[in-house]
Amino acid sequence: MNTLFQNTEDEHPLTVSELSSFIKQTLETRLNDVFVIGEISGYRRAMPSGHSYFVLKDDKSQISCNLWNFRYNQLKFKPEDGMKVLIRGRVTVYEPRGSYAIEVHSVTEIGIGELQAAFERLKEKLLSEGLFDEKRKKQLPDFPQNVAIITSESGAVIEDFIKVSKKRYPNFNLYLFPALVQGKGSVESVCRAIKQANDYPLDLDVIVIARGGGSIEDLWTFNEESVARAVYHSNIPVVSAVGHEVDYTICDFVADLRAPTPSAAAEMILPDKRELLENLNNYDYDLKSIVNDRVVFYKESLDRIQSNYSFNKPRDILNEVKMRIDEISDDLNKIISDTVENYQVDLEEKYDFIFSLCNDRLLFFKNDLDYKEKMLKNISPDNTLKRGFAVVTKHSKIVSGKKELKNEDLVNIRFHDGSVDATVK
Last residue of a domain, one of 60, 88, 112: 112
CB 411 within 8 A of CB 394: yes
CATH number at residue 261: 3.40.50.10550
In 247-262, which positions are buried (b, 16+ CB within 10 angstroms) versus exposed (e)?
bbbbbbbbbbbbbbbb
**Beta-bridge partners for 100:** 93
CA distance 113 to 91: 23
Q: Residue 358 pLDDT > 80, yes or no?
A: no
Angle between helix axes 262-269 and 156-168 (nearest 10 degrees) is 30
Mean pLDDT value across the chain:
83
Give the Cβ contact number of residue 197 at 10 Å.
22
For residues 131 and 178, membership in a common domain is answered with yes
Mean pLDDT for 180-205 is: 93
Q: In whole angstroms, what separates CA 266 from the centre of its chain?
A: 17
* Confidence grade of residue 3 (pLDDT, cut at 50, 70, 90): very low
Last residue of a domain, one of 59, 87, 112: 112
For residues 189 and 261, membership in a common domain is answered with yes
Report pLDDT digits (tens) over 326-339.
777 777 777 777 66
Whether residue 304 lies inside any domain: the answer is: no
Look up residue 418 and give its DSSP letter: E
Last residue of a domain, one of 112, 135, 170: 112
User: pTM of the full predicted structure?
Assistant: 0.50
For residues 153 and 45, membership in a common domain is answered with no
**What is the tally of structural domains in the chain?**
3
For residues 82 and 8, membership in a common domain is answered with yes
* Confidence grade of residue 355 (pLDDT, cut at 50, 70, 90): low
- The residue among 365 and 36 whose pLDDT is bigger is 36
For residues 147 and 31, membership in a common domain is answered with no
For residues 64 and 144, membership in a common domain is answered with no
- The residue among 271 and 328 whose pLDDT is bigger is 271
What's phi and psi for 79, nearest 5 deg? -60, 140
CA 353, 356, 360, 363 torsion: positive or negative?
A: positive
Structural domain for 63, as ranges: 2-112
Whether residue 17 lies inside any domain: the answer is: yes
Amino acid identity of 105?
H
Can you give the pLDDT at residue 347?
58
